Structure 1
Amino acid sequence: MLRRTSKEPRLGRPIELPLQAALPPCETLGPEFARVRALSATLTEGLDAEDQALQSMPDASPTKWHLAHTSWFFETLLLRPHAAGYHAHDARYALLFNSYYEALGPRHPRPQRGMLSRPTLAEVWAYRRHVDAAVQHFIECASPAAWSAAAPILALGLQHEQQHQELMLTDLLHAFSLNPLAPAWRGGVVPASGTAEPLRWHGLDPGLVEIGHDGAGFAFDNELPRHRVFVAPFELANRLVSNADYRDFIDDGGYRRPALWLSDGWALAQAQGWHAPPYWQPDDDGGWRQFTLHGLQAIDPAAPVCHLSAYEAAAYAAWAGARLPTEFEWETAARHSSTDASMTRYQLDRMLPQPSPGLLGEAWQWTSSAYAPYPGFRPLAGPAAEYNGKFMVNQLVLRGGSCATPPGHARVSYRNFFPAAARWQFSGLRLARDAR
């Protein structure tokens, strides 16, 4: 019989996060909680109840569901275990708004979230207000012992809500793209980015490097432990592949040349009729327009191409005589850059989440690396053990953040992950090649 060792996590233990050694004070997390929750509300401004009930495919969720689920997360993992005397807003919500936590009970089927006409949007906002008030009261009144146990969960919940803020935008974009009226999340013409700088190659000869979270600030469990990896000499492009670059690939028959494609990708592209990125539409002049959160727009030639699957990214790289970087090459290059990788180009002030040229924070960048645990990986304890680790199969790692990533959320060690076929995220590519 196999025996459980003392090092193995057990469900029900307190959640242990990297930041637990230096817990943030309530004076920091209180305002941060208010700021993050307010941003979710800001993203819904101008949306009708009908907009927020849409679910366009099983991988996407209604805006209303995102608003409720993030509240469920704080209620279930923070308030119920740690806030003495807390009363659930509605016990039935545990079934409706659990996402994938098997340890926390049954869940409403993911593909049917769009069927939840009840609770209404107004009732979901009442739920959020109930949870917000309870969390703020806990922050103000928690004993030192209670705060020590709960602060890491609160920090995790804030990062979790930021992930859903990006999903709110990507899911809404997909839903709106299916409407013949081409509705816009925010109106107006998106200004062009100008001219893309010429593609240049930067060489690195790193050798043995340290990969993973360096211990400063928050990190998810999948960014740990920090460990050493040998990285051979390589070169990385100075910018992401642009729309103009990708249009050349299309014009050269990139979607009709099986030799460029991975086998699974070619089969999928043929079965689904791929001939361009998913939101590109031919215009009357033989060019392309793109459906965006601002409705149909002219293609910005200099902006990074996005909404690519890993299959399309790899095919383009093969066409260009290059390849996708590994996640270790990408992180090595990012750590050598002077750009602050915790910053993104999230343009909330102008409400224009559109890709723009630069190093980071414009489009998630596919890597060739399988999403796998780092050596010595340990998932979070308790129910949050299901947060990342159980998805470490049949997915690829993306790095860098996107124009829809909330400010301060991404960092050099951040590991996003999706199946290779995913196209509805702001995902693009940066070319790499072996050193010459």
Structure 2
Amino acid sequence: MKLLASGDLQERFAVMRELSEKITAPLEREDYVLQAVEEVSPAKWHLAHTTWFFEEFILSKWIANYEFYLKDARKLFNSYYETLSKPFPRDQRGLISRPTVDDIYNYRAIINERMKDLLESAVITDELQHLMELGIQHEQQHQELLLTDIKYNLSINPQEPIFKKEAIEHGKGPIEKFQWLTYGEGLVSIGTNNHHFSFDNERPSHYQYLYDFQLANRPVTNKEFLTFIEDGGYKKPEYWLSDGWKIVQEQQWEAPLYWNEVEGTLYTLGGRKRIPMNRPVQHVSFYEADAYARWASARLPSEAEWEIALGKDMKEGTTLEETLEGKVTNLPLATGHVWEWTASPYTSYPQSARPDGALGEYNMKFMSNQMVLRGGSAYTPSGHIRPTYRNFFPADKRWQCTGFRLAKNGGQI
């Protein structure tokens, strides 16, 4: 047990909180309340929800007779913690015009001060240390969602507004020649027992048996995916899972989200740009990734294959901070450029334990009808990427920075 919070913890908290507001700085007031579809949330809601999280799970537990700064915070900004209160309907978050944007920024400032006071005076137990790490990681997740949702909300406008002229999402750097890397069979350990910080869905470390497999040395690029389109990939049902083919027909998918394949352009945070052919394809669903893999006589990797093959040498590509400033990382296309779909359904690891109380709802309750993604993207904050991180989304969602790489069974070339 530590007697006082370390300066490092306070500094990390302050820097993380500043980044959220740096993300939203280019927005006009009207932009803060946009909610184009149920899956995205207004920027104002993200700023408020992450602030409420620190109030709910830390301040109210460590300060006697604590009074919430906003009386109705649980009603307004609880996302899905049903054991705490009835959350406001997710698809109606854009209707919360009050508190105002200015009110929310003031809310953040007040809670930042209360957190600072707590960290300077409280005995930092292991529990408080863990909750602080959870709160920081939680807001980092919402920082990625902030950029993701802002992009989608603005894209609906026929004018296709530029969020930030300097923003570069796709990075630069050399394109590696495509090759298959071979991995032998055997009993392997995946996951982690790191309780300093890991989400509950990453634990515990456990064994899986893998057969010989091959994995592409990099994700599929825009140029390669364009070949799939030109070969009629979106028009041939033999490549698609049944549910995916149904969505292709109903929503008339013809290319990844944000593409205009006729013009050869795509919408970005920095406006409409030429499609960068040597960068990883992104904003594709699991169904599209799976269809491409079948077209290419390959498959998607399991999450265990991905972690064993790429986890040890995993590097961050361009991070959220660099994306905002247009300072891209010139790394080869290894990992960290797009979240990569795997063939693994999102389920709990063997002998995993669900946390007690409301935090037990953080990850475990979503282990149904979702697929696992690994890696990280150009919207992921620095330091938030790790080999055991399990992202997850429904198979049809593609507004996130989602791409993929190919795999094959061993000996199959």
Task: Supply the distance in 2 between the matched residues of 1:311 and 1:23 (Cα, whole angstroms).
Answer: 51
Shift of 1:354: 8.1
Give 1:297-336 correspondences, 5 Å limit: 297-336=273-312
Task: Supply the distance in 1 between the matched residues of 2:165 and 2:76 (Cα, whole angstroms).
Answer: 33
Task: Supply the distance in 2 between the matched residues of 1:381 and 1:273 (Cα, whole angstroms).
Answer: 44
Shift of 1:26: 3.1
Instruction: Report the AA paired with residue 157 of structure 1.
Output: G
User: Of 291, 302, 321, which aligns to 1:348?
Assistant: 321
Instruction: Report the AA paired with residue 209 of structure 2.
Output: F
Give 1:409-428 correspondences, 5 Å limit: 409-428=384-403
Task: Supply the distance in 2 between the matched residues of 1:192 and 1:385 (Cα, whole angstroms).
Answer: 37
Q: Secondary structure at the match of 1:50?
A: helix
Seen in structure 2, the aligned counterparts of structure 1 residues 302 and 214 have a Cα distance that, compared at 3 Å, is farther
Instruction: Report the AA paired with residue 191 of structure 2.
Output: G
| Contact preservation (8 Å) 2:130, 2:197 | no
Q: Does 1:168 align with 2:141?
A: no
Shift of 1:195: 5.8
Seen in structure 2, the aligned counterparts of structure 1 residues 379 and 22 have a Cα distance that, compared at 3 Å, is farther
Count of aligned positions: 408
| Contact preservation (8 Å) 1:367, 1:398 | yes
Task: Supply the distance in 2 between the matched residues of 1:201 and 1:403 (Cα, whole angstroms).
Answer: 25
| Contact preservation (8 Å) 1:241, 1:428 | yes
| Contact preservation (8 Å) 2:192, 2:205 | yes
User: Of 201, 206, 211, which aligns to 2:190?
Assistant: 211
Shift of 1:404: 0.4
Deviation string, structure 1 residues 320-357 (Cα, Å, up to 9, x no partner): 111000000000102343x44xx342152462498985
Seen in structure 2, the aligned counterparts of structure 1 residues 57 and 298 have a Cα distance that, compared at 3 Å, is same
Give 1:177-188 correspondences, 5 Å limit: 177-188=155-166
Q: Does 1:66 align with 2:46?
A: yes
Structure 1 residue runs without a partner (length 5+) = 1-20
Q: TM-score, normalised by structure 1?
A: 0.89
| Contact preservation (8 Å) 1:344, 1:406 | no
Give 1:378-397 correspondences, 5 Å limit: 378-397=353-372
Q: Secondary structure at the match of 2:349?
A: coil
Q: Does 1:143 align with 2:143?
A: no
| Contact preservation (8 Å) 1:202, 1:238 | yes
> Could you say which residue in structure 1 is the equivalent of 2:269?
293
> Could you say which residue in structure 2 is the equivalent of 1:250?
229
| Contact preservation (8 Å) 2:265, 2:272 | yes
> Could you say which residue in structure 1 is the equivalent of 2:220?
241
Instruction: Report the AA paired with residue 241 of structure 2.
Output: L
Seen in structure 2, the aligned counterparts of structure 1 residues 66 and 371 have a Cα distance that, compared at 3 Å, is same
Shift of 1:83: 2.0
Task: Supply the distance in 2 between the matched residues of 1:103 and 1:232 (Cα, whole angstroms).
Answer: 42
Task: Supply the distance in 2 between the matched residues of 1:116 and 1:212 (Cα, whole angstroms).
Answer: 39
Task: Supply the distance in 2 between the matched residues of 1:29 and 1:159 (Cα, whole angstroms).
Answer: 13
User: Of 75, 93, 96, which aligns to 2:76?
Assistant: 96
Seen in structure 2, the aligned counterparts of structure 1 residues 189 and 423 have a Cα distance that, compared at 3 Å, is closer
> Could you say which residue in structure 2 is the equivalent of 1:435?
410
> Could you say which residue in structure 2 is the equivalent of 1:280?
259
Task: Supply the distance in 1 between the matched residues of 2:332 and 2:257 (Cα, whole angstroms).
Answer: 20
Task: Supply the distance in 2 between the matched residues of 1:41 and 1:195 (Cα, whole angstroms).
Answer: 33
Seen in structure 2, the aligned counterparts of structure 1 residues 378 and 194 have a Cα distance that, compared at 3 Å, is closer
Task: Supply the distance in 2 between the matched residues of 1:160 and 1:344 (Cα, whole angstroms).
Answer: 21
Shift of 1:81: 1.2
Task: Supply the distance in 1 between the matched residues of 2:343 and 2:328 (Cα, whole angstroms).
Answer: 25
Deviation string, structure 1 residues 213-261 (Cα, Å, up to 9, x no partner): 1527410000011100001110100110000000000000000010000
| Contact preservation (8 Å) 2:320, 2:380 | no
Q: Secondary structure at the match of 1:368?
A: strand
Q: Does 1:112 align with 2:92?
A: yes
> Could you say which residue in structure 1 is the equivalent of 2:23?
43
Identity of aligned residues (%): 44
User: Of 349, 361, 370, which aligns to 2:336?
Assistant: 361
Shift of 1:365: 0.3
Shift of 1:67: 0.2
Shift of 1:278: 1.2
> Could you say which residue in structure 1 is the equivalent of 2:241?
262
Root-mean-square deviation (Å): 2.1
Task: Supply the distance in 2 between the matched residues of 1:234 and 1:329 (Cα, whole angstroms).
Answer: 8
Shift of 1:57: 0.4
Q: Secondary structure at the match of 2:83?
A: helix
User: Of 377, 383, 389, which aligns to 1:408?
Assistant: 383
> Could you say which residue in structure 1 is the equivalent of 2:203?
224
| Contact preservation (8 Å) 2:59, 2:115 | yes
Instruction: Report the AA paired with residue 211 of structure 1.
Output: I
